[in-house]
Amino acid sequence: MVLVGLMGVGKTTIGRRLADRLGWAFRDSDHEVEEAAGRSVSEIFADFGEAAFRDGERRVIARLMDETGQAVIALGGGAFINTQTRALLKGRSLSVWLQADIDTLMERVSRRDTRPLLQTEDPRAVMERLLAERAPVYAEADIHVRSPDTTHDGAVQAILDAMAERVEAQG
């Protein structure tokens, strides 16, 4: 299962809790990219640019899909936007779009200065643009959950309920 959505929506926190509830492994693609590169996401962006980061991210996610059995994988905010990555994930995982309103996202991302795409004079404008650009692609996810409508544990339960509904509908 992969969790998709904008930065700050809670993919890592919800993903860890969901994996615990399911008894599955948890992986965070940003962390895995950092491990593979031996440097932080911010350093990769600064030294090589976003295109190089996205290429590495795509390769790491493909590796995770090959190496990982039952797992919850929290994807970086832009990972699902990549056509090749999305096609790979669609064929091999259940995707969950975690959604939140822009005010909630801004409050969460303002807690840390480690978001390379937000290193600008108007981070809110960047987040609004990203949401507008990415929402139609995130909408291709199998399940949609509004994370701020509830606690993180509530979001986990909403995902589990949606999974159960899918199984029941498939008969």
119-to-6, 88, 112, 123, 129 alpha-carbon distances in Å: 16, 30, 11, 7, 14
Question: Distances from the Cα of 124 to the Cαs of 4, 29, 160, in angstroms?
Answer: 20, 24, 32
Numbered residues of the known binding site: 8-13, 30, 54, 77, 115, 134
pTM: 0.89
Q: What is the pLDDT of residue 114?
A: 64
Q: Which residues contact 65 (CB under 8 A, 6 or more apart)?
A: 88, 89, 92, 93
Domains of the chain: total: 1
The terminus-to-terminus CA distance of the chain in angstroms comes to 20
Write out the binding residues for Mg(2+): 12
**Angle between helix 83-92 and helix 50-67 axes, rounded to 10 deg:** 20
Binding residues for substrate: 30, 54, 77, 134
Tens digit of pLDDT for each residue in 86-101?
999 988 999 999 998 8
Q: How confident is the model at residue 67 (pLDDT cuts 50, 70, 90)?
A: confident
Residue 118: CATH number of its domain: 3.40.50.300
Pairing of strands 2-4, 95-99: parallel
Residue 68: give the domain boundaries.
2-170
